[in-house]
Amino acid sequence: MFSTLFHYPRVLARHRNGPSADDRERYLAHCAEGGAAHSTLLSLAPELLAISRRIVLDSGRLILPAEVEMAADRWVRYQRRHQRIVTGRFSRERFIQTATAWLRFLGQLQERLPEAPPFVDLVQRFDSYLREERGLSPHTIHNRCWHVQAFLCWLSEQGSSIDEMQLEQVDAFFALRQMQGWSRVSMASLAGALRSFFRYAGEQTWCSKKLAAGIEGPRLFSHEMLPVGPKWEDVQRLIRSTDTDSPHDIRDRAILLLLAVYGLRSGEVVALTLDDLDWEHDILHIGRPKQRCKQDYPLAAEVGEAILRYLEQVRPHVASRSLFLTIRAPFRPLVSTSLHYLVNRRLRVLNISCRHGGPHSLRHACATRLVAEGLSLKEIGDHLGHRSAYATRTYAKVDLTALRQVADYAMGDLL
């Protein structure tokens, strides 16, 4: 690897004859396989050489994080003495970051054990109860446990415990969330999670059984908020804006088509793998986490061409089976928050106004278009992966043309 990066004999000899040369070369090769650019490797190699001269890697001993920090301080003092830097903050952070990644790769880093959050055993038992006895989806379990953990951490900071907790403390936590700008829907989700937890905690005699009944969130009305997405003309304009040769645009075009044509959720898009594409039969397999099953869709020609172009021209050749990866190394699968930033940024650039400018707005736009095309609610629900028609019927309110026809018909009989 050194001979690939360096051509001057003296520079090459310095790297080859330095401490832990084999370990440094293995790590550089590992980074290269992960897609690191040549310029990145050129800057990484001298950093590894400086680290190896200040941290002794004898007989595979584990290195404590404190030892890495002390070595970083020595490196900063050395650079200041030779007037290479003005401030040592960036140099120190880079040294620690690089050394930590290298030692972790070698298996010689003594990892700091994370401090266990308060009441972690109670949350774990609640998690097991929701999964094994209630049979809830992983997404629902994660959300409920997240709310409960946040409340219990706050409760611990107040110097209180679950067995002596009062409803006034729940009200105080709700007031805190409201001050932080939480919406009524989020507050209702929090109340439901805490109510579920304290109902279980009461059955386990961790606290009073009366607590759960006293937890009330804001009242929500059925279908009080209509699902709102951009107009279909704006969706088409959004997709046309990605018709370039830019790697980001090529990847994002495939993502936007999946969101708009199939109405997929962001979590369903980022969960796609290479195995979910059946090119022989033109089938797309979508994992539905709520139904805990796979749903098959015919692979539309335009969507298939966009995905194929991304695979051939942009997607890096790495071991990961995830379909959508980051453009730059280190290559990682995209997450749901990445899609929210992607869609929201592109909508703002095109001045497309939308109440909620994330990936779910394209799902609403897809459903609204299907309603306008005259598909039944059952067909729309099947396309969107709804478990029941109850979740789909709100889109009937969005079809203003049909509602006006009904109103005209009714008024015609009365007048």
Q: Which residues are catalytic?
A: 265, 294, 360, 363, 386, 395
Contacts of 28 by beta carbon, 8 Å cutoff, 6+ apart: 1, 2, 5, 41, 44, 45, 48
Cis-peptide into 9, omega within 30 deg: no
Q: Are 374 and 361 in contact (CB under 8 A)?
A: no
As a whole number of angstroms, the longest Cα–Cα distance in the chain is 98
Q: Are 126 and 200 in contact (CB under 8 A)?
A: yes
What is the spatial distance between Cα 116 and Cα 119, in angstroms, rounded to a whole number?
A: 8
Residue type at 97 in one-letter notation: Q
Determine the distance from the C-alpha atom of residue 376 to the mean position of all C-alpha atoms in its chain, rounded to a whole number: 33
Tokens of 69: 């920090």
Q: Integer distance in angstroms from the first to the last C-alpha of the chain?
A: 87
Instruction: List phi, psi (to 5°) of 295.
Output: -120, 135
